[in-house]
Amino acid sequence: MYITAVVSLIVFVGLVIFLVIIRLRTGNRIEIKNTDILLAIIPVVLFLLITGKITKFEFGMLKFETVFKEAASKKIESEIITLQDLPIRSVESDIKLGINKIPELIEKKTEALEFRLGYGRYYGPAIRDYLNSLAAYPFFNYIIINKMNGEFFAIMNAQHLFTLINTDNSPYNPSDLANWLNNSDEEIISKLPGTILLLNAIDANTDKNDALKQMEQIDVDFLPVVDDEKRFVGIVDRSRLLSSLIVDVSNRLND
């Protein structure tokens, strides 16, 4: 996140320098307006407000704080990304059956695999085959872990999990993961690096600012979204939220 702030600051300074150069070369025929500078500084100010580094920003007669609060208080409902075709119990104990399903998942551009705690039939080598095959594709991003009753338990980055259980000398391997899933070992699974649990999930009524603060607090780039019955409905991505905030603020400044 700090890298984002540095990049945003560099972009802002570069844009201002560019505008100054253009104005000088055109003999001051092009005027640099306050709104031009405001639009350039928005990413930096958003970062500082979200992380609590500042609580208010004023530019001339315009109070940026008010505009930001109006944009940030909007619900995340329109920003939820739903994941289609989550295959339930996709990694079967029959390794041949599992391998036969992989081309179908690739054809559908499956974004996530769903596992069920306590299913009892997960098989380490089959999990390895699934991850080895799907991790090569950019559309495969998430591992969803639910309880047998459908209640959400955890989500993790699929590429991260793939690396975690395929790295030499790693304390984790596919067979251990299969055993933890089969035996509903919630304690061990919850401690796997990069795991986002139900307690960090949000709902569709969460506002954008709170969602971004939650991401900042636990240092992640996305959060799971659940419904009233604690069932997984999708994710909210940091970059998408920030983009929507910038658009909302820009629209308010231009009103």
Write out pLDDT tens, residues 152-165. Answer: 999 999 999 999 98
Beta bridge partners, 116, equal 146
How many distinct structural domains can be found in the chain? Answer: 2
Q: Do residues 195 and 136 both lie within one domain?
A: yes
Does residue 40 sit in the same domain as residue 106?
Answer: no
* pLDDT value of position 109: 84
Residue 144, φ and ψ in degrees, nearest 5: -105, 130
CATH number of the domain to which 173 belongs: 3.10.580.10
Q: Which domain holds residue 147?
A: 79-237
Which of 39, 72, 105 is the last residue in one of the domains?
A: 72
Of 12, 43, 72, the one marking the end of a domain is 72
Verify that 28 and 44 share a domain, yes or no.
Answer: yes
pLDDT in tens, 98-128: 567 888 888 888 888 889 999 888 888 888 8
Question: Residue 149 region, left (φ>0) first, then alpha (ψ -120 to 50), else beta?
Answer: alpha
Low-confidence ranges of the chain (pLDDT < 50): 1-2, 32, 34-35, 54-57, 59-62, 64, 85-97
Query: Do residues 89 and 212 both lie within one domain?
Result: yes
Q: What SS3 state is found at 24?
A: helix
